[in-house]
Amino acid sequence: MNTIKIHEVGLRDGLQMESEPVPSITKLQWAETMLSSGIDIIQLGSFVHPVKVPQMADTDDLFIELLESGKKPDNVVLSGLVLNEKGMERGMKCGVEMFCMGVSASDTHSKKNTGMTTKEAQKRIIEMAIEAQSAGKFVQASVQSAFGCGFEGKIDEDIVYKIIDAYLDAGIKNLSLADTAGHANPAQVKRMFHNIRNLDNEAELACHFHNTYGMGLANVLAAIDSGVTYIETAFGGLGGCPFTKRAAGNICTEDLVHTLQRMGIRKDIDLKKLISIARYASGFFVKDLPGYVYKVGPLSY
């Protein structure tokens, strides 16, 4: 469990549902606090059209600023989400270190999110992933709506495994299952990651859960028990996909880190710094965030 890596996606998935625009200077302050906290991967944003997701309009500038400032420790990776070739071209220009891209197992969600069917999106994503890896970039490929869809309901697990198989055939080894609609349960999580591990025992596994029905943290712990090492979370529990039926927040970074540290894991992460970001964000948006630990404080014994 000490190999667990935290992938902080608050600046992307956490903010994309918020109507109140966050100034770039504020995002940079949050990012710089994350950089010094011991978090492993920080997702600065997504390369989408600014009209569709205005909150992401400054993603290119955030990468350039942080990479040129010299404030990024060598052991921290900056990631960005891309949906198409144009987005990847932008990411290449501004220095993205890890490209996150994916395909939805739900045709309905895929069309709403990308304008493409699952089959159409998969072909393009795999071509993009191969190009990014050839350029020396770290690539993580995901299956969105892997555990269920807000529009279609139950998703045939074989669809998920076929997408994973196609990734593996293309040489993509960092694989993520995303619970976009928040339908996952711990037994399902263990079964699906176990089956993926049987497809390729050397694959690096990641998970991305939403807390729509209150099972998020339990699902993360089930994933960890199944050998998943990359966990995607967002400060304060912010976030949600704007193209799913019922958007709900991500697993809260400081809540997960607090849980792990209570279990004797990842004590190298500065929890107080993560809590400070959540409190700052709560004040900025003038509302309570879904997280717990930032409100009550961590247990210290």
Q: Where are the domains of the chain?
A: 5-296
The confidence band for 245, taking pLDDT boundaries of 50, 70 and 90, is very low
Mean pLDDT value across residues 281-294: 95
Architecture of domain 5-296: Alpha-Beta Barrel (3.20)
Catalytic residue among 94, 100, 207, 241: 241
Confidence check: pLDDT of 244 > 70: no
DSSP of 77-104: EEEEE--SHHHHHHHHHHT-SEEEEEEE
Mean pLDDT value across residues 229-251: 78
Active site residue 241: yes
Burial of 92 (0-12, 13-18, 19+ CB in 10 A): middle
Q: What is the pLDDT of residue 248?
A: 62
Q: What is the pLDDT of residue 242?
A: 53
Confidence check: pLDDT of 37 > 60: yes
Q: What is the pLDDT of residue 220?
A: 98
pLDDT above 90 coverage of the chain, percent = 83
Confidence check: pLDDT of 240 > 80: no
Mean pLDDT value across residues 112-141: 91
Confidence check: pLDDT of 12 > 90: yes
Mean pLDDT value across residues 42-62: 94
pLDDT in tens, 75-94: 999 999 999 999 999 999 99
* CA–CA separation, 166 and 215 (whole Å): 29
Average pLDDT, the chain: 93
Mean pLDDT value across residues 149-156: 88
Q: What is the pLDDT of residue 100?
A: 98
Q: What is the pLDDT of residue 44?
A: 98
Confidence check: pLDDT of 265 > 50: yes
- Which alpha helices (H) appear in the chain, and where do they start and end? 24-35, 59-69, 85-94, 107-114, 118-134, 157-169, 186-199, 216-225, 253-262, 271-285, 293-296
Confidence check: pLDDT of 243 > 80: no
* CA–CA separation, 103 and 160 (whole Å): 10
Confidence check: pLDDT of 141 > 90: yes
